[in-house]
Structure 1
Amino acid sequence: MTTLILLTKINADSQLNQISKALDFSFKGLEVETKILGVVADGWVQIALSGEDEGIATNYLIKEVGICPSNFGNVKKFSTLKGYIKNIGKNGAILSVDVGVFQPKIGYATIELRRLQAQLVDGEKIAIRKIAELFGLCEYLPVNVKVTGLNEEKSRIDAELSSKQIRKYMVWRESLLDRLLVLGSSLHEVKATIEHAKLERDVIDVEPLGLLEHALTCKLGTDAAGLIPKIGRTLRNAKFAVFNPKTLRDFLNT
């Protein structure tokens, strides 16, 4: 049996069932049994794998989902980590990201405002909450960060957005297409909801950001915010955020 702590967070126990179904779908055709053991620390999902193909399933999860570093000592300077936004501007002008470090105590990756300004808005002196609004940054959104400094005594991880994350925002920005970020629902639920709401013409792509997080690409002319009531009727426990490239461009060009 293999026990893993996935780089997947939940904010409600009901989401464990969604995780279980998503894993069963991913392992369809494999001789492997998946058991959800619960959550550790601040919502990280712990599972157990057993069966003839548990090695294949384990390698798949390591590559496609990720495994928590767990211990501070496993984090290396200049490494790239996946995490979930914990808070924005609550402890000063910083973005805190939970990257799965909770031993010997919880340590968040922190990105200072001036670094966000340099990476996202060409160094413009824009408030952190405005940057979050423009880029759809919100709690429980998965992001990739690069470690720039470590202080084990203080469990401090200094970071910046990774080059991969920056490239994603550049692609989104240049596409001129709205994106609706859906957090807390499985890919199957999201696609079924789009079909049920007859939004296939408005949503041209669903990009998974995590097991329960997805970016819905809207066709040109479709307002992502306008889809929230239609999708929210079915995905009642989901959280939503919007990335609007036109709003971003207009703001930065004023």
Structure 2
Amino acid sequence: MVVLATKCYVDGDARERALDGLRSLVDNAIGDLAVEYEVGVRHDDFPSVTVDGEDGVAARNVLREEWGAITPEFVRGEIYTGTLESWDESGFVLDAGEDVRVPAEEIGLGPGSPEQVRTRYGLVQHLPLRFVYGEPSRLADDERDRLYDWTRGTGRVNANSATRGEVRATVNRAGHAGDIVTVERFGLLEQSVICREGTDPPGLLASIGTHLPAELLCVVP
């Protein structure tokens, strides 16, 4: 079994749509392998995929590579993935099956309080983030590089609580299909709308925000 490092924290019909989407994504990833699989959700909202069959090892490796995996224990110095659970003046708290605190001085994304850093980089709640486990833990170098790259691009609007298809449909419905490059998936319910050159991220956020019941944060280059 692989516990995916992303969360399904919505309820009702939205939860069913999200899980249907996850089953399709899992099928796209491992459907051609000689395996049978079943998708479920743990009590803590992390999805699990039970895999059996001749290609089971390969399938589990594919899922870990694509989503990251929640593990029962940690080794100091190794890289893991957790979701952004909360933040305060002292740092970030990531949910990696248990709470992992990343102190403010170990975030490594420039000046400002954790809340200011979160806002500047568009880190919506539940966004999967890679970290190096230790005492203290810190954001992984590759994660820092990825987030720095966001500020060098054409701008983004990041959202949670919605699937990629729902975000794309919202952008289209708001009349902004021509103002974006694509919608990039970060987690099951965390997406990033990549703006075209000349598109104003705060303006796009204001336009789609009335249609999308989600946390929205923009990244302004």
**Aligned residue type for 2:94:** V
Aligned position for 1:39:
42
Aligned position for 2:151:
173
Tell me, yes or no, if the aligned pair for 1:83 and 1:142 is still in contact at 8 Å.
Answer: yes
Is the alpha carbon distance of 1:164 and 1:48 closer, same or farther for their aligned partners in structure 2, counting shifts above 3 Å? same
Is the alpha carbon distance of 1:46 and 1:218 closer, same or farther for their aligned partners in structure 2, counting shifts above 3 Å? same
Count of residue pairs brought into register by the alignment: 216
1: CA distance, partners of 2:117 / 2:216? 17
Tell me, yes or no, if the aligned pair for 1:27 and 1:57 is still in contact at 8 Å.
Answer: no
SS at match of 1:58: helix
**Aligned residue type for 1:6:** L
Deviation of 1:32 (Å): 5.7
- Specify which of 105, 118, 131 is matched with residue 114 of structure 1: 105
Aligned position for 1:130:
116
Is the alpha carbon distance of 1:50 and 1:115 closer, same or farther for their aligned partners in structure 2, counting shifts above 3 Å? closer
Aligned position for 2:84:
85
Gaps of 5+ in 2: none
2: CA distance, partners of 1:194 / 1:57? 34
Deviation of 1:115 (Å): 2.6
Aligned position for 2:10:
12
Aligned position for 1:252:
none
**Aligned residue type for 1:87:** S
2: CA distance, partners of 1:79 / 1:215? 27
- Specify which of 192, 199, 203 is matched with residue 215 of structure 1: 192
Matches within 5 A, 1:1-254: 3-13=1-11, 14-28=14-28, 30=32, 34-40=37-43, 42-49=44-51, 57-69=59-71, 71=72, 74-89=73-88, 92-100=89-97, 106=98, 108-116=99-107, 119-121=108-110, 124=111, 126-149=112-135, 158-175=136-153, 177-236=154-213, 238-245=214-221
State the Cα RMSD in Å.
Answer: 2.6
Q: 29-38 or 177-186: which moved more?
A: 29-38
Deviation of 1:229 (Å): 4.5
Deviation of 1:127 (Å): 2.4
Tell me, yes or no, if the aligned pair for 1:15 and 1:184 is still in contact at 8 Å.
Answer: no
- Structure with larger RCO (C-alpha < 8 A, sep 6+): 2
1: CA distance, partners of 2:65 / 2:21? 19
- TM-score of the aligned structures, taking structure 2 as reference length: 0.83
Gaps of 5+ in 1: 101-105, 150-157, 246-254
Deviation of 1:82 (Å): 1.1
- TM-score of the aligned structures, taking structure 1 as reference length: 0.73
Higher Cα radius of gyration: 1
1: CA distance, partners of 2:26 / 2:51? 13
1: CA distance, partners of 2:54 / 2:134? 40
Tell me, yes or no, if the aligned pair for 1:136 and 1:243 is still in contact at 8 Å.
Answer: yes
Q: 11-20 or 26-35: which moved more?
A: 26-35
The structure with the largest strand share of the pair is 1
**Aligned residue type for 1:112:** P
Is the alpha carbon distance of 1:37 and 1:120 closer, same or farther for their aligned partners in structure 2, counting shifts above 3 Å? closer
